[in-house]
Amino acid sequence: MSRYPLLDSVAAPQQIHHFSLVQMEQLAQEVRDFIIASVSETGGHFSSNLGTVELTVGLMHHFDFLVDRIVWDVGHQAYPFKILTGRKDRFSTLRKHNGLSGFLKREESPYDHFGAGHASTSISAALGMAKARDLTGQDYACVAVIGDGSMTAGMAFEGLNQAGFLETRKFMVILNDNDMSINPNVGSLQGYLNQMISGQYYNRWRDRIEHAIKTIPVASVSRRLAKAAKWSEESFKRIAVPGLLFEDLGFRYIGPVNGHDVAAVLRALREAKERMAEGPVLLHVQTQKGHGYDPAVKDPLKWHGVTAFDRESGEIIKPAPDPAKPAPPSYTAVFGNTLTELARRDEKIVGITAAMLDGTGLNLFQKAHPARCFDVGIAEQHAVTFAAGLACQGLRPVAAIYSTFLQRGFDQVLHDVCLQNLPVTFAMDRGGIVGADGPTHHGLYDLAYLRCMPNLILMAPKDENELRRMLFTAIYSNRPAALRYPRGNALGVPLEDPVTALPIGKGELLREGRDLLLVAVGTLVASATALAERLAGEGLDCAVINARFIKPLDEQLIGQWARHTRAVVALEEGCAPGGFTGAIAEFLADQGIARPLLRCAVPDHIVHHGDHARLLDEEGLSPRALYDRVKAFAAELRP
Ligand SMILES: Cc1ncc(C[n+]2csc(CCOP(=O)(O)OP(=O)(O)O)c2C)c(N)n1
Ligand SMILES: CC(=O)[C@@H](O)[C@H](O)COP(=O)(O)O
Ligand SMILES: [Mg+2]
């Protein structure tokens, strides 16, 4: 017999419209059990999904999302939705190559109305859908589900601002408030939400007061009395719930409601559905990350995203350590420790993260230098300009932002930092292909989008020792500077102590040769070196340069060896259009160095999700693929 009898009987989500309360409670329990069992085998985002189970069941009861539109912010909390919209049987393929995405994807299901992965886009997208509906005379409800962390972004408020102003009907924002981002949520907004939770008695009284005011016979109400009644309501509101922000923005605020009480969720959604006919609604749902699985409730940060685990003990399954070969540290840890160490000697160093304290390794820095560490929330744009302000006053800010999330701050990097030549360091973790998170999270575009920035120094280390040196170089360059490094473990090379600066704009000749020049940056330097050794055994003599700097490029060194060899191979784990290999192509053309060029980079297409090594191979960047490509390229060269 199935462990999930009711869930397995749901052939289409529309069946849930007819479920009783008892059935929905059972369904919620089965969905939760299924998530725990399934993610314990595949890994994936976990604690956020255990928080949205009852809310999702309630939404499926009240709406038909083949007709109505729902936009899940980020999408990392939408596993219950995916399971209930026909994807349960494919859940074992989650985040695997050719398997289900960990987020929502329009091409994956007709229920996925909007794709995401980055935070705080849901309100804008759902509002666009609502306005398209109004303009085209269609009829469907639009729902955005956004977490308290994602609500800290300016973009979320840009959406609220417009939605309230337009008095958008059949439009609802559900604020899924679990008092957590990945790390504990930060900022005064969270304090405000907590205040709303403690001030909820107002909402119980509001309807009665409003009713009383409305039932005063109109004929008997003088204009002054009506005004006074309205004034009393407003005053009462403000005393009971100071600053009803969402109401003031034009939303009907409902809540807070206990997001794990199915009956309460259903009641609140029913009310919200009615109110939506009049104008925009904000439904405030209080949930708990990890709900129903004790280890995750106790440590929601650790359980935000996990690898496979033992469901009984809550132990994360890790490969047994090899005592003969200890695992190297992650690039993230090397960054966090180096920054902490440098900051011990220099009190001008400050660290900034946009809601990725542990992810970026800045938690290590925070422990040692709490007053100099700023988590600004999911607000990359603000983080960059905030760093610019700190730099203006003589501090040395280091903004640690994943490569993919710094895309949000493009204009701020240009307008606020580079044009003013301010000494801000950007430490971009997760450069290159990240693996299971997929297209929204690959850090493939950074070298291209930063290479055009005036004044900026742009670097990528070949190993963790070079990362340390690049960080040091960046901080003391007195210019805007950025370094990008990959997710995962470093190479295990010894770390020089004390750390020293690199000469700016100087590459490193790793091998001399006369046939080909292999010029690489970042993760592909090790591959280029190994490839040159292999090819040497086959009679092909390759010079290898570790470029270190994408900008300024070491034109002297690269030019010299390009002229000395017959052809050039440029390598990077980044996008080909505009990236490092593009810089090499431009340089050769500009200098009139007429050498055939093979560009080994990610072509102009989307890289899907899956295992890093496999994706790298598909992009022609694995050691095997590079060998084949370079051999074929060399074979085409004139003798
Ligand atoms: C622009 C952007 N910055 C950072 C992230 C990384 N990130 C993913 S989920 C998350 C926390 C979101 O918190 P919340 O919206 O409250 O959702 P919860 O996990 O609490 O359910 C963060 C910071 C992101 N996805 N997008
Ligand atoms: C949803 C999201 O954006 C994060 O949770 C992301 O998945 C974290 O990725 P890392 O595991 O690389 O920190
Ligand atoms: Mg949250």
Looking at residue 123, its amino acid is I
Q: Are residue 55 and residue 178 in the same domain, yes or no?
A: yes
Cα 378 to Cα 181: distance, rounded to the nearest angstrom: 9
Name the β-bridge partners of 374: 352
Q: Is 214 a catalytic residue?
A: no
| Cα separations in angstroms, 11 against 16, 88, 89 | 10, 11, 11
Does residue 320 lie in a domain region? no
Q: How much is the ipTM here?
A: 0.99
Q: 534: domain CATH number?
A: 3.40.50.920
Q: Does the pLDDT value for residue 210 go beyond 80?
A: no
In a domain, 4, yes or no: no
Q: Are both 63 and 92 inside the same structural domain?
A: yes
3 state SS of 613: helix
- Residue 316 inside a domain? The answer is no
**pLDDT band per the 50, 70, 90 thresholds, residue 237:** low
Catalytic residue among 408, 430, 469, 548: 408
Q: Same domain for 461 and 338?
A: yes
With 0-12 / 13-18 / 19 or more C-beta atoms within 10 angstroms meaning exposed / middle / buried, residue 360 is buried
What pLDDT, in 10s, does the model give residues 443-461?
Answer: 999 999 999 999 999 999 9
Range 311-329 average pLDDT: 90
| pLDDT tens, position by position, 465-511 | 999 999 999 999 999 999 999 999 999 999 999 999 999 999 999 99
Confidence check: pLDDT of 243 > 50? no
End-of-domain residue from the set 209, 240, 271: 240
pLDDT, one tens digit per residue, over 568-601 is 999 999 999 999 999 999 999 999 999 999 999 9
Query: Is 293 among the annotated ligand-binding positions?
Result: yes
Catalytic residue chosen out of the listed positions 30, 54, 380, 464: 380
pLDDT at 321: 82
Q: Answer yes or no: is pLDDT of 215 > 90.
A: no
For residues 444 and 570, state if they share a domain.
no
Are 404 and 533 found together in one domain? Answer: no
Within a domain: 11:
no
pLDDT for res 393: 98
Q: Is 178 annotated as a binding residue?
A: yes
Asked whether residue 69 is domain-assigned, the answer is yes
48 Cβ inside 6 Å of ligand 1: yes
Instruction: Report percent pLDDT > 70 for the chain.
Output: 93
Q: How many other β-carbons are positioned within 10 Å of the β-carbon of residue 323?
A: 6
- pLDDT of 433: 98
| Total domain count, the chain | 4
DSSP state of 432: B
Is 149 in the same domain as 29? Answer: yes
Say if pTM beats, i.e. exceeds, 0.90: yes
For the domain that residue 427 is a member of, what is the CATH number?
A: 3.40.50.970
Contact 76 CB / ligand 2 (< 6 Å): yes
* Residue 171 · residue 281 · CB < 8 Å: yes
Q: At what angle do helices 53-62 and 262-276 cross, to 10 degrees?
A: 50
What is the number of the ligand 2 atom nearest to the C-alpha of 440? Answer: 3
Do both 277 and 393 map to the same domain?
A: no
Question: How would residue 217 be classed by pLDDT, with cut points 50, 70 and 90?
Answer: low
Q: Across the chain, what does the average pLDDT equal?
A: 94
Q: List pLDDT tens digits, range 42-80.
A: 999 999 999 999 999 999 999 999 999 999 999 999 999
**323 found inside a domain:** no
pLDDT at 211: 60
In a domain, 492, yes or no: no
Does residue 605 have a known ligand-binding role? no
Find the mean pLDDT for residues 504-532: 98
**One domain, residues 235 and 259:** no
Q: How many CA atoms, within 13 angstroms, populate the side-chain half-sphere of residue 74? A: 21
- Residue 218 predicted with pLDDT over 60: no
Judgement on whether residues 116 and 216 belong to the same structural domain of the protein: no
Are residue 195 and residue 235 in the same domain, yes or no? Answer: no
Distance 360 CA to ligand 2 centre (A): 10
Looking at the structure, do residues 350 and 262 belong to the same domain, yes or no?
no
Lowest mean pLDDT among 40-54, 148-162, 188-202, 357-371: 188-202
Judgement on whether residues 270 and 153 belong to the same structural domain of the protein: yes
387 domain residue, yes or no? yes
Secondary element (H or E) of residue 529: helix 524-536
For 280, the domain range is: 19-199+241-293
